[in-house]
């Protein structure tokens, strides 16, 4: 099968050897595995971080988001059958989706939204899982809850932010405030449902005050958290909640003590990495997201279709993601 791999970490992404095409054996499913014929993928910041920073001793296939059809099932599979159309975000411990065929545990797979084509569906899984877990599991907001409370989403125009804005606006009563530094991104965030958009390139407290907001109940730090940390501590209310998904080099949690602010780290790979007893929750929430897409409550977050799945297009997509200027998700579809 065709796969796009990296064999040496850290090469400049413009180097043609940074990502290369290779022929690899088609894998065979284990007991709870689906063998998926991959038709579309999207690129996430984790892809660029792994390629740049994780050494390999053999070719590694990256890629997490995928859409495809079930080509074969393991002996203990009960949630899917051959021919089912699926979408998922995979596991960080297994070969990725940038290949014609991929193995994935059925417990982290959902049925593809019926109303979306492959490219638009591929934009959703990793960011939808991350946003859902961050909002409902980590920050503890209840569906239909949050009346009189607010959430500030820092980096609301990116992949996770684009779906988090929608979940917070459509499924809760929170006052949703997103940040964006460019006018086209700010317009995108408003279209997705944010009540207000402020510029994270300017002091946050003053902009919130101009909106009549003195303190924030929940902050979702999606990017460059270290740059905003002091401001986040300032604007969070006493006993507020702070959720984070990125990787600041250091984070002084003592600054949170005075206000009894709770810190919540979200990683959508935790359930699959540790095979947690509630691992099947990702299957359930992806099915819920698909239903919300199909009934018009949520919309895809596809920002750009970069073209077919090949090494050249993946290199271009990695470059765009690493620039932090991409709006929504970058998707590749077809071989």
Are 57 and 165 contained in the same domain?
A: no
Are 120 and 132 contained in the same domain?
A: no
Report residue 46 CA to chain centroid gap. 9
Domain boundary among 265, 291, 325: 265
Are 66 and 111 contained in the same domain?
A: yes
Are 261 and 313 contained in the same domain?
A: no
pLDDT value at position 157? 93
In terms of residue numbers, what domain contains 9?
A: 2-124+270-333
Nearest-angstrom CA–CA distance, 64 and 127: 10
DSSP state of 92: T
Query: In which residue ranges of the chain is pLDDT below 50?
Result: none
Are 98 and 216 contained in the same domain?
A: no
Going by C-beta distance under 8 Å and a sequence separation of 6 or more, which residues neighbour residue 270? 276
Are 59 and 173 contained in the same domain?
A: no
Are 249 and 133 contained in the same domain?
A: yes
Are 13 and 114 contained in the same domain?
A: yes
Nearest-angstrom CA–CA distance, 200 and 228: 8
Token pair 């997509």 in the structure block, residue: 317
pLDDT value at position 328? 86
pTM, rounded to two decimals:
0.95
DSSP string, 130-182: HHHIIIIIIS-PPTT--TT-EEEEETTTSHHHHHHHHHHHHHS--EEEEE-SS
Are 64 and 9 contained in the same domain?
A: yes
pLDDT value at position 235? 97
CB 282 within 8 A of CB 8: no
The overall longest dimension of the chain from CA atoms, in Å, is: 60
Are 195 and 87 contained in the same domain?
A: no
Long-range CB contacts (< 8 A, 24+ apart) of 45-52? 45/159, 45/321, 45/322, 46/92, 46/126, 47/96, 47/318, 47/321, 48/13, 48/318, 48/321, 48/322, 49/247, 51/6, 51/9, 51/13, 51/18, 51/19, 51/318, 52/9, 52/10
Are 168 and 236 contained in the same domain?
A: yes
CATH code for position 31: 3.90.180.10
Three-state DSSP class for residue 275: coil
Three-state DSSP class for residue 87: strand
Domain boundary among 265, 291, 306: 265
Report the percent of the chain where pLDDT is more than 90: 97
How many structural domains comprise the chain? 2
Are 131 and 256 contained in the same domain?
A: yes
Domain boundary among 265, 289, 317: 265
């Amino acid at each position: 099968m065709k796969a796009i791999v990296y064999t040496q970490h850290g090469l400049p992404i413009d180097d043609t050897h940074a990502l290369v095409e290779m022929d690899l054996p088609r894998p065979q499913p284990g007991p709870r595995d689906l063998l998926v014929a991959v038709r579309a993928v999207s690129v996430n910041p984790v892809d660029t971080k792994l390629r740049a920073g994780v050494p390999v001793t053999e070719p590694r296939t990256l890629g997490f988001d995928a859409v495809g059809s079930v080509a074969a099932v393991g002996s203990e599979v009960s949630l899917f059958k051959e021919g089912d159309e699926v979408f998922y975000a995979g596991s960080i411990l297994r070969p990725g989706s940038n290949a014609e065929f991929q193995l994935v545990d059925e417990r982290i797979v959902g049925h593809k939204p019926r109303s979306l084509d492959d490219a638009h569906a591929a934009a959703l899984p990793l960011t939808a899982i991350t946003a859902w877990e961050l909002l409902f599991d980590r920050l503890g907001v209840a569906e239909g809850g949050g009346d009189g409370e607010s959430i500030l989403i820092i980096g609301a125009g990116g992949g996770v932010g684009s779906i988090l804005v929608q979940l917070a606006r459509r499924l809760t009563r929170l006052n949703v405030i997103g940040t964006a530094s460019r006018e086209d991104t700010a317009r995108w965030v408003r279209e997705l449902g944010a009540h207000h958009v402020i510029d994270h390139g300017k002091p946050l407290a003053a902009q919130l005050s101009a909106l009549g907001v003195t303190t924030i109940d929940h902050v979702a730090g999606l990017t460059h958290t270290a740059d905003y940390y002091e401001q986040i501590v300032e604007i969070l209310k006493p006993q507020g909640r702070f959720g984070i998904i990125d990787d600041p080099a250091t984070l002084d949690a003592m600054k949170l003590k005075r206000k009894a602010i709770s810190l919540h780290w979200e990683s959508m790979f935790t359930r699959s990495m540790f095979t947690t007893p509630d691992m099947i929750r990702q299957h359930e929430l992806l099915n819920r997201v698909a239903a919300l897409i199909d009934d018009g409550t949520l919309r895809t977050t596809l920002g750009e279709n970069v073209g077919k799945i090949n090494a050249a297009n993946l290199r271009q997509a990695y470059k765009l993601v690493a620039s932090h200027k991409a709006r929504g998700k970058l998707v590749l579809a077809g071989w």
